[in-house]
Each structure stands twice: as structure tokens, then as C-alpha cells.
């Protein structure tokens, strides 16, 4: 969708009434979807790499896992696959938009910034779906396990991908230099993959590290997803949902702060 | 060193069109300051069949500033990229003195300096550091490079930003630093692709003075620009390029030969005013926004002023100005479009 | 009064003296241009060298098996040696393309080989630093006792050279910046997870082992282990040859890419 019709459409809407908001949101959504379509292959590739890829790699490093351990590993793979969404894909996308000057255009439109952010987050969360599905398929096939999928899958995945996208967006707007963001996220991913009790139980981790992860979102992502894919393997799921909600809010606050600063 | 070659140098300046004689001092082919840059029948066709350069021939002599003027997409940047070896011609030759630059691009990079249109990668470098290192890379010795860096910084009034990191410089100042990088140790040919983009009018003059000095030192300077006024003021000879072809070549004044007895009447209309009826003494006219430019015969100057004054009295126009014709008119005649100048033509 | 800019005729530079001078300045230029990233590079080396070694222990319930420990301790140094040249530097080139500064860098007057030499030097310095950090960490954490022989010098030089050459080739041959990014990530993943560098080959499917026989990473592990011990290896001479071949091929690809003037 090109820029001029977009601007015309948005100008014609009243931003105050809820119906106006909804229409503006849908129009922005169409704009975002078409402009970010090119990122889909990259996003899916990264997610499969870090999700299924890591799950398979762990199997090489630790060859004789017991049955429960394998189930733990596989049910953690989607969390691993969503982390690059927030830490690599969203920041890279935002960085590219910033370099290309897209924000200067978007932010000059008479659309509430909140709507623009909502649209971006929707698209980023949608991008997550193929990657996660592929990851689960690969991991279950490789290890020959079957998962007991419950309806909790929907809120679990929605919340985790929303949280990952929100935090990623906040991070991307806080740090300006795209190469710095690139490096920082690569470093962080590395740390997260190694030091998070996602693929292996928390009991294998030193207590101080386990405590740190009570505050960070990564462990809780895994808990929430694991609870929806298995029975009896995840505990204290309610706390995890709360922590994820808090992190999502934090992401929104960061984005809101950066945008208001710009005015 | 004030920029114009002395009478004993044998180097021509402002060759008039049609003078194809080899008057450059070619008696000693070994001396760099006797080398001309000769482009013969250059053709560049891109993969999808786009003809960027269509048989261009030109010669730039040492000591002269040669302008390449044309609209965006005319093929100017493609041409200079082939000189510096970033692109390979489809056919044709480029020679510098005894060297074939097409066959030996590494020689081209050593003998030519190139300031590209895009920004330079100096984000993490201090301004003076960027200039000095580039001078060293170009083979200068440390002492002269340092001295010349200081001179350039002073000449371009960049003293305030001497130790500033590239990433913190404004676009125009970065451009000037880029120019200094390219001329601290200039080659036998200095190629400047739109050097005054983003540069403020005051520093633009300083830049032109510096370009003149570089040419005075014996380099052959190729100045790519889409700014007609710049082409007029800063070059010795220029070529108008469009659609990959060289349309005309000569000194700025030779282009205005036809309009020798003509003047330019510039009327600034009130915003929203309609097009006034053109009186019979107007030879040509064009309107861009609220600027109306009319070409009149010199003899009709008085009548024209009277007419303009009437427009002002009637509230149709706000101001008017009468002046000499510019290169713009020849440019429009040749390319069929206006340049991307602001029509006021302020420098 | 400004002095004449072109007082002397520019003479064509060639020969080792000129090359050396150009190399020194080009290295200064490269390092200065990356000034803002040097701290991040240090962090990367430490994280890779020390972080991976330590984090590896978390994969296991209880103490890690000693065989696995030996493999990690002798494998991580290889990662520290390749990470700057193979992963980071292609992204620098990709960034140049995005920022449209690639053309200028390609038009610089110094021979292009000096730019490669500058990268190699940077890779070597960073890599050796990371390697030492990882060896120390492994020794402290797992009590690993390695006997480092003088062969570690050619091993390090060659592993770094192969990595830089491959990174240089990727950076210049791949024109889409996003593709370069993906390629770097995939490569890193491949070496860490799908090549016998950090874990024994018998823990991999057989077909993966055969795939690795043509790739340089298995040879890197043989070359390194022949120099610092820990894991018994064979076919050392062949491994050196494979690495040399990969270096040569990468440089050829890089030269072709860089000389290509469309």
C-alpha cells in the first residue's frame, strides 16, 4: 500500500471515536503487513534456527537425556524460538525503518502513535506464528515425542509473542545505533540461550541464577508455553503469566516514553 | 598559486567549443602535471539493457576545472565511477597520460581521488584524523599531510569541528571533511561528485576557492553537479550531459553566446496569482511556483521594468529583478527541463 | 598562504616497502573506524570464550562428563578465533552497503590486500585474547590440564587466516546485507551445533560427520587439538592442508568479488 492513499485515508478518519480508531488501526495494519512482508523469510529462518536448532543441538551436547528431560527440552523450544523475535527481528526491523526514514513519515501522519504501535505489535506477533509452528514440528519429529496440547495454547502464545515484540520494540527505540543494537542483541541471545532454564530444569542452575530468572521473562515464557503443551511438567504458571504481563507493560511504557520525548 | 595557470604553463583554460586541438603541454609525457584525462567513446550498458553512458568523449586537462552538468539520472555518476574503476565500461577507453585506466583500475585508484555522492564512512573518526589518515593512505608523508590537513581545516573554516567525531557532524560539515579527505593529497585527477550538497552558501564559496587552488596545483578536476549556478561560477569548461549523452561542451560564457544581448527579468508573483499575460517583447518565459522568469532583449529593458512595475502596482507581483542571462536558459534549451536550482539563483 | 597541493608528481606505488606502509595506515584506519565497537568486541570475545565454557556445565544434571569437558575446553578456543573474522567482519561490510559507504571504501588508494591484512590482524589480536581467556576459564572451572605445545602458533595463525578469508569472501561476494546477516548467524550456529568442534563426533548423526569432512571446521578442531592436546586426533597434516585449501579458495572468491566491476 503506497504512502499517499494511506495518508488520505487516515486524514479522513476522526481520531476520537472508537470506530475511527478501529478503522485507523486496520489501515495501519494493512500498511505494516505489506511493508514488512519481506521480513517473513528472515524471521522464520531465525526462529527455526534458534528454536528447533537449539533443541536439536542440545541433544548433541547431552546425548542420553531421560524421557522427562526430552519432553522438557521439546516443550521449551517454542520459547527459544520466540526470543529471537523480540531480540533480533523486531530491533532489526525497527533499525532498518529508522535508517530508511520511515518513522519520519509515519510519525507525521495524523494517527495516534498508540495505534501505530498496536499495528506494529500485531504484525510482529503474526510473524511469529510460522516460526513457532515449524519449530514445534521439527522438535517433536526429531525426538519422537507427542505433546498434550491444551486450549491454554492460545493465551500462552499470544502473551509470549506480544511480550517479546513489546520488549523488542522498546529496546529498539531506546537504542539508536543499528549496529549497536545488532551486536547487543546477538550477545544477549547467546547469553539467554546458555543461561536460561528453558531447555533444562531450573534445578540444574545455581540458585543465584535461578533467582535472577524469576525477574527476567525468559524462564516464564517457557513455563507458560510448557503448561499449555504438556501435563504436570510446569508449576506456578499463574506467577509466570503475571511476570510476562508486567514485562509487556514495561515494553509499552518504554515505547511510549520514547515517542512522547519526540514531541 | 592563486588558481590561474601562468602564461608559460602551456595549459589551456576555457577552451572554446570546437577547439579540438591538443594544446595541453604533452611535450613531456612523464610529468604528471602534463597528463590529460581522455575519455573516448565511452559506453556503459547495464545488465537489463539500460544505457547509462552512450558514447561519451571528453578531455580534461591538468589545471582546469571541468564541470559535468546534468539532471539526476543523466549518467554523470556512472561516468566518473568508470574513471575511478568502480564500474567497467561496456566499450570505450579512459586514459590518463600514458596509463589505461580501464585495464588497470588499481592504477586509477592511486592516481585519481574520488569524492562520492554518498556520505563517507567517518562515523567513528575525528575530522582531522579522517583527513590525515586518508592523506597517508594516498601515499603522502606524515609531515606534509599534517600540515596540509591544518591548512584545509582553516581554509574551509572547520576549526570548531577539528576533533569532533564524524557521527556528530552535520551533513554539510561532513561533506566538507570529505572534500578535505579527497584533496589533502590529491591525485592527478580529482573527481568531485556533487561536493556542495548540503553545504551552506558561505562555505560553498570557500569550497570553490579551494577547488580552484587544487586545479592550480596541476590536478585535473572533474566537478559533477546538477546546480547550474555552481557550474557557472566554479568551472572553466563544462559539459551538459543527459540521457547518457554529452549534449554540448564549452566554457560557461560560450553557452550564453546566443543570449549575449539578452537580459533576464525575474518577477516574484504574489502567491495565488494567475499567469499574467505576456507582453510582446518577452522572448521566452517559464514559471516555477511563484517565480516567473522572462527573457527579453537588452533594448527592451526600460519597457520591461515599466511592465513589471505595473504588475506590482496592480498587486499581481511582489517584487521584480533584472539581470544577466544565466546558464540555466541554455540548460533548459538543451535538456528540456529546469535544473534543480531554486530559481532565485542565490549563491 | 596555502602551499601547492600537487607539488610533487604522484608516483605509482608498488613493492614491499610501499605495501607495508599502506598496510600500517590501513590498519590504523580500520581500527579507528571500528573504534565504537572495540568494547563490544572485547565483550564478545569474553562471552564466547568464558561464557560458553562456564554455561556448558548447566546442560548437565550433576557434574559434566569429563569427555565432554575436554571437548568443550579445546573447542571453544576455536570459536574465539573465528568469531571476529567470520561473524563480525562480514556484518561490517554489510553495514557499509546499507550506509552507502561501500563504494568509497572500495575506491581507496591502498591495495585491497592491505584491507584484508588489516582485518586479519584485528581478528588475530581479538582471537588470541579470547582464546587465552577461554583456556584459563576451562582450567579454573573444570580443572582441565592441557599441555600447550609450540604448534599452537601455526595452528592459531592458520585458523584465524581461514576464518578471515571466509568472512572476507562472504562480506564481499554477498551483496544483500540481510543475506549476509543470515549467513553469519547460520554459520555460527552450524559450527557450534552441527560440527565436531565442541562435542565428540559420535554424538552426531553419521551423515553430519561426513558433511563436515569437506568443511573447514572439523579440520580446525584437529589442528587446534594437535597443538593443545586434551582430545587425541589423527590426520593432522591433512587437516592443515584442508584449511590451507579453504583459505586459498575463499581468497580467490573474495578477489573475484572485489575485482568485479559490474
Query: Of C155, C125, C139, which Cα lies nearest the Cα of C72?
Result: C139
Q: Is C262 on the interface with B (CB under 8 A)?
A: yes
**C219 vs C247: CA distance, rounded Å:** 12
pTM summary value: 0.77
What are the boundaries of each domain within chain C?
A: 33-259
Give the 3-state secondary structure of residue B186. Answer: coil
Give the 3-state secondary structure of residue B272. Answer: coil
Between vectors from CA B96 to CA B94 and to CA B97, what angle results, nearest 5°?
135
Give the 3-state secondary structure of residue C35. Answer: helix
For A127-186, write each residue's pLDDT tens digit: 888 888 899 999 999 998 888 888 988 899 999 999 999 998 888 888 877 777 777 777
Compute the average pLDDT of residues B21-45.
66
Count the residues in chain B. Answer: 347
Give the 3-state secondary structure of residue B38. Answer: strand
Q: How far is A161 from chain C (nearest CA, A)?
A: 21
Q: How confident is the model at residue B5 (pLDDT cuts 50, 70, 90)?
A: very low
When CB atoms are compared, the residue of A42, A54, A99 closest to C182 is A42
| DSSP letters for chain A | --HHHHHHHHHTS-SSSHHHHHHHHHHHHHHHHHHTGGGHHHHHHHHHIIIIIHHHHHHHHS----HHHHHHHHHHHHHHHHHHIIIIIHHHHHHHHHHHTHHHHHTTSSS-HHHHHHHHHHHHHHHHHHHHHHHHHHHHHHHT------TTHHHHHHHHHHHHHHHHHHHHHH---HHHHHHHHHHHHHHHHHHSTTSS-GGGS-HHHHHHHHHSHHHHHHHHHHHHHSSSS---HHHHHHHHHHHHHHHHHHHHHHHHHH-
- Phi then psi for residue B14, to 5 deg, are 65, 50
Q: B121 or C136: whose pLDDT is higher?
A: C136
A63 contacts in C (CB within 8 Å)? 203
ipTM metric: 0.82
Cβ(A240)–Cβ(A223) below 8 Å: yes
Cβ(A217)–Cβ(A225) below 8 Å: no
C-alpha distances in Å from residue B126, one per residue of B200, B203, C179: 21, 20, 32
When CB atoms are compared, the residue of C55, C95, C178 closest to A194 is C55
Lowest mean pLDDT, pick from A36-45, B145-154, B315-324, C1-10: C1-10
User: C233: buried, middle or exposed (CB in 10 Å: 19+, 13-18, 0-12)?
Assistant: middle
Q: B233 is written with which cell numbers? A: 561560477
C69 contacts in A (CB within 8 Å)? none
Torsion over CA: A30, A36, A42, A47 (sign): negative
Q: Which residues of chain C have a pLDDT value below 50?
A: 1-4, 7
Q: How far is A191 from chain C (nearest CA, A)?
A: 8
**Residues of C near A (CB-CB distance < 8 A)?**
36-37, 40, 43-44, 47-48, 51-52, 55-56, 58-61, 68, 88, 91, 95, 98-99, 178, 181-182, 185-186, 189, 192-194, 198-199, 203-204
Q: B23 or A165: whose pLDDT is higher?
A: A165
DSSP H helical ranges for chain B: 76-84, 105-111, 127-137, 142-155, 171-183, 201-216, 228-234, 252-255, 301-313, 327-335
Look at strands B65-69 and B112-115 and give their pairing.
Answer: unpaired
The confidence score (pLDDT) of residue C10 equals 60
Q: How confident is the model at residue B272 (pLDDT cuts 50, 70, 90)?
A: confident
Q: How confident is the model at residue B259 (pLDDT cuts 50, 70, 90)?
A: low
Instruction: Tell the residue number behind the cell numbers 588499481, with chain if given.
Output: B106
Is the Cβ pair A60, C204 closer than 8 Å? yes
The confidence score (pLDDT) of residue C85 equals 92
Cβ(C135)–Cβ(C64) below 8 Å: no
Lowest mean pLDDT, pick from B144-148, B198-202, B313-317, C4-8: C4-8
Residue of A nearest to C56 (CA): A194
Cβ(B88)–Cβ(C261) below 8 Å: yes
Q: Is C105 on the interface with B (CB under 8 A)?
A: yes
Between vectors from CA B67 to CA B80 and to CA B31, what angle results, nearest 5°?
70
* DSSP run (H or E) holding C217: helix C216-228
The packing angle between helices C112-142 and C236-259, to 10°, is 140
For B196-209, write each residue's pLDDT tens digit: 988 888 889 999 99
Separation of CA B243 from chain center: 18
**B341 vs B346: CA distance, rounded Å:** 9
Q: Is B6 on the interface with C (CB under 8 A)?
A: no
In what side-by-side order are the strands of the sheet with B112-115? B112-115, B189-193, B220-225, B65-69, B237-242, B245-250
Residue of A nearest to C88 (CA): A183
A61 contacts in C (CB within 8 Å)? 56, 59, 68, 198-199, 203
Q: B16 is written with which cell numbers? A: 572554446
Q: B21 or C157: whose pLDDT is higher?
A: C157
Is the Cβ pair C5, B155 closer than 8 Å? no
Name chain C's partners: 3 or more CB pairs within 8 A.
A, B
Mean pLDDT score across all residues of chain B? 83
Q: Which of residues 79-118 of B touch C (CB under 8 A)?
A: 81, 84-88, 105-107, 109-111, 113-114, 116, 118
Cβ(B305)–Cβ(B322) below 8 Å: yes
Q: Is C108 on the interface with B (CB under 8 A)?
A: yes
Q: Is the pLDDT confidence value at B26 over 60?
A: no
How much of chain B, in percent, has pLDDT values that exceed 70?
86
Q: How confident is the model at residue B1 (pLDDT cuts 50, 70, 90)?
A: very low
**A78 vs A52: CA distance, rounded Å:** 8
User: C49: buried, middle or exposed (CB in 10 Å: 19+, 13-18, 0-12)?
Assistant: buried
Q: How far is B343 from chain C (nearest CA, A)?
A: 30
**pLDDT (tens place) for every residue of chain A, 263 residues total:** 455 555 555 554 444 556 677 877 887 787 777 777 777 777 888 888 888 888 898 889 988 888 888 999 999 999 999 988 888 888 888 877 777 667 777 766 666 778 888 888 888 888 888 888 899 999 999 998 888 888 988 899 999 999 999 998 888 888 877 777 777 777 778 888 888 899 889 888 999 999 999 999 999 999 999 999 988 888 889 999 999 999 999 999 988 888 777 64
Is the Cβ pair C44, A203 closer than 8 Å? no
Q: Which of residues 77-136 of A touch C (CB under 8 A)?
A: 92, 99
- Residue C123 region, left (φ>0) first, then alpha (ψ -120 to 50), else beta? alpha
Torsion over CA: A183, A184, A189, A194 (sign): positive
Amino acid at each position: 500500500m503506497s504512502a499517499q492513499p494511506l495518508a488520505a485515508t487516515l486524514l479522513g478518519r476522526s481520531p476520537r471515536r472508537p470506530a475511527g480508531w478501529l478503522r485507523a488501526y486496520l489501515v495501519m495494519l494493512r500498511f505494516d503487513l505489506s511493508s514488512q512482508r519481506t521480513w517473513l523469510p528472515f524471521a522464520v529462518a531465525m526462529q527455526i534456527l534458534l528454536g528447533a536448532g537449539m533443541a536439536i543441538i542440545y541433544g548433541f551436547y547431552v546425548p542420553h537425556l531421560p524421557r522427562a528431560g526430552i519432553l522438557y527440552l521439546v516443550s521449551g523450544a517454542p520459547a527459544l524460538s520466540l526470543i529471537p523475535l523480540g531480540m533480533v527481528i523486531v530491533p532489526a526491523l525497527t533499525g532498518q525503518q529508522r535508517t530508511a526514514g520511515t518513522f519520519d513519515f509515519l510519525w507525521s501522519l495524523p494517527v495516534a502513535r498508540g495505534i501505530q504501535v498496536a499495528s506494529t505489535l500485531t504484525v510482529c506477533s503474526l510473524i511469529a506464528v510460522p516460526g513457532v509452528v515449524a519449530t514445534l514440528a521439527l522438535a517433536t519429529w526429531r525426538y519422537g515425542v507427542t505433546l498434550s496440547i491444551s486450549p491454554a495454547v492460545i493465551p500462552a502464545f499470544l502473551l509470549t509473542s506480544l511480550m517479546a515484540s513489546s520488549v523488542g520494540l522498546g529496546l529498539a527505540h531506546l537504542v539508536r545505533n543499528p549496529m549497536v543494537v545488532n551486536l547487543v542483541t546477538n550477545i544477549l541471545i547467546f547469553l539467554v540461550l546458555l543461561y536460561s532454564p528453558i531447555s533444562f530444569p531450573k534445578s540444574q542452575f545455581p540458585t543465584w541464577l535461578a533467582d535472577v530468572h524469576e525477574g527476567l521473562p525468559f524462564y516464564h515464557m517457557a513455563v507458560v508455553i510448557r503448561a499449555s503443551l504438556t501435563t504436570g511438567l510446569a508449576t506456578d504458571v499463574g506467577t509466570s503469566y503475571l511476570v510476562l504481563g508486567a514485562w509487556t507493560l514495561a515494553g509499552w511504557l518504554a515505547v511510549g516514553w520514547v515517542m512522547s520525548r519526540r514531541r | 598559486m592563486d588558481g590561474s595557470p601562468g602564461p608559460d604553463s602551456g595549459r589551456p583554460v576555457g577552451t572554446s567549443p570546437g577547439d579540438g586541438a591538443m594544446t595541453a603541454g604533452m611535450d613531456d609525457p612523464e610529468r604528471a602535471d602534463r597528463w590529460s584525462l581522455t575519455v573516448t567513446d565511452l559506453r556503459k550498458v547495464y545488465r537489463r539493457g539500460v544505457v547509462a553512458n552512450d558514447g561519451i568523449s571528453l578531455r580534461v586537462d591538468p589545471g582546469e576545472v571541468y564541470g559535468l552538468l546534468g539532471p539526476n539520472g543523466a549518467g554523470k555518476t556512472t561516468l566518473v565511477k568508470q574513471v575511478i574503476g568502480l564500474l567497467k565500461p561496456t566499450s570505450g577507453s579512459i586514459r590518463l597520460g600514458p596509463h589505461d585506466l580501464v585495464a588497470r583500475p588499481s592504477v586509477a585508484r592511486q592516481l585519481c581521488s574520488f569524492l562520492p555522492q554518498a556520505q563517507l564512512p567517518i562515523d567513528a573518526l575525528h575530522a582531522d584524523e579522517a583527513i590525515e589518515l586518508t592523506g597517508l593512505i594516498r601515499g603522502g608523508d606524515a609531515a606534509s599531510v599534517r600540515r596540509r590537513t591544518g591548512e584545509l581545516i582553516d581554509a574551509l573554516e572547520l576549526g570548531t569541528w577539528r576533533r569532533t567525531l564524524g557521527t556528530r557532524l552535520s551533513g554539510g560539515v561532513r561533506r566538507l571533511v570529505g572534500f578535505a579527505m579527497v584533496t589533502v593529497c590529491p591525485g592527478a585527477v580529482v573527481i568531485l561528485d556533487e561536493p556542495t550538497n548540503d553545504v551552506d552558501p558561505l562555505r560553498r564559496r570557500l569550497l570553490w576557492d579551494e577547488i580552484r587552488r587544487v586545479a592550480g596545483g596541476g590536478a585535473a578536476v572533474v566537478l559533477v553537479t546538477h546546480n547550474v549556478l555552481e557550474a557557472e561560477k566554479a568551472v572553466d569548461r563544462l559539459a551538459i550531459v543527459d540521457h547518457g549523452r554529452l549534449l554540448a561542451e564549452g566554457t560557461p560564457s560560450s553557452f550564453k553566446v546566443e543570449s549575449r544581448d539578452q537580459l533576464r527579468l525575474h518577477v516574484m508573483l504574489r502567491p495565488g496569482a494567475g499567469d499574467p499575460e505576456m507582453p510582446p517583447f518577452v522572448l521566452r518565459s517559464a514559471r516555477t511556483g511563484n517565480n516567473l522568469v522572462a527573457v527579453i532583449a537588452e533594448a527592451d529593458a526600460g519597457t520591461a521594468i515599466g511592465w513589471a512595475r505595473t504588475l506590482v502596482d496592480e498587486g499581481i507581483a511582489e517584487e521584480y529583478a533584472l539581470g544577466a542571462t544565466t546558464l540555466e536558459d541554455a540548460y533548459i534549451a538543451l535538456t528540456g527541463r529546469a535544473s534543480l536550482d531554486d530559481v532565485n539563483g542565490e549563491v | 598562504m596555502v602551499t601547492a597541493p600537487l607539488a610533487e608528481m604522484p608516483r605509482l606505488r608498488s613493492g614491499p616497502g610501499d605495501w607495508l606502509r599502506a598496510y600500517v595506515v590501513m590498519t590504523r584506519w580500520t581500527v579507528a573506524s571500528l573504534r565504537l565497537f572495540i568494547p563490544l568486541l572485547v565483550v564478545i570475545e569474553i562471552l564466547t570464550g568464558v561464557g560458553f565454557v562456564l554455561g556448558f556445565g548447566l546442560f548437565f544434571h550433576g557434574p559434566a562428563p569429563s569427555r565432554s569437558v575436554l571437548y568443550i575446553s579445546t573447542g571453544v578456543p576455536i570459536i574465539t578465533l573465528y568469531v571476529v573474522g567470520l561473524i563480525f567482519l562480514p556484518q561490517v561490510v554489510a553495514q557499509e552497503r546499507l550506509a552507502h559507504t561501500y563504494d568509497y571504501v572500495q575506491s581507496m588508494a591502498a591495495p585491497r590486500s592491505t584491507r584484508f591484512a588489516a582485518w586479519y590482524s584485528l581478528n588475530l589480536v581479538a582471537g588470541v585474547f579470547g582464546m587465552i581467556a577461554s583456556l584459563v576459564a576451562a582450567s579454573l572451572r573444570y580443572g582441565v590440564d592441557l599441555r600447550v605445545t609450540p604448534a599452537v602458533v601455526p595452528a592459531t595463525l592458520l585458523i584465524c587466516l581461514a576464518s578471515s578469508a571466509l568472512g572476507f569472501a562472504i562480506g564481499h561476494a554477498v551483496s544483500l546485507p540481510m543475506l549476509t546477516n543470515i549467513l553469519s548467524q547460520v554459520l555460527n550456529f552450524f559450527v557450534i551445533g552441527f560440527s565436531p568442534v565442541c562435542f565428540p563426533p559420535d554424538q552426531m548423526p553419521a551423515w553430519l560427520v561426513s558433511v563436515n569432512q569437506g568443511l573447514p571446521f572439523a579440520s580446525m578442531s584437529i589442528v587446534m587439538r594437535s597443538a593443545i592436546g586434551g582430545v587425541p586426533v589423527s590426520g593432522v597434516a591433512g587437516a592443515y592442508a584442508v584449511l590451507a585449501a579453504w583459505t586459498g579458495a575463499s581468497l580467490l572468491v573474495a578477489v573475484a568479488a572485489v575485482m568485479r566491476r559490474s
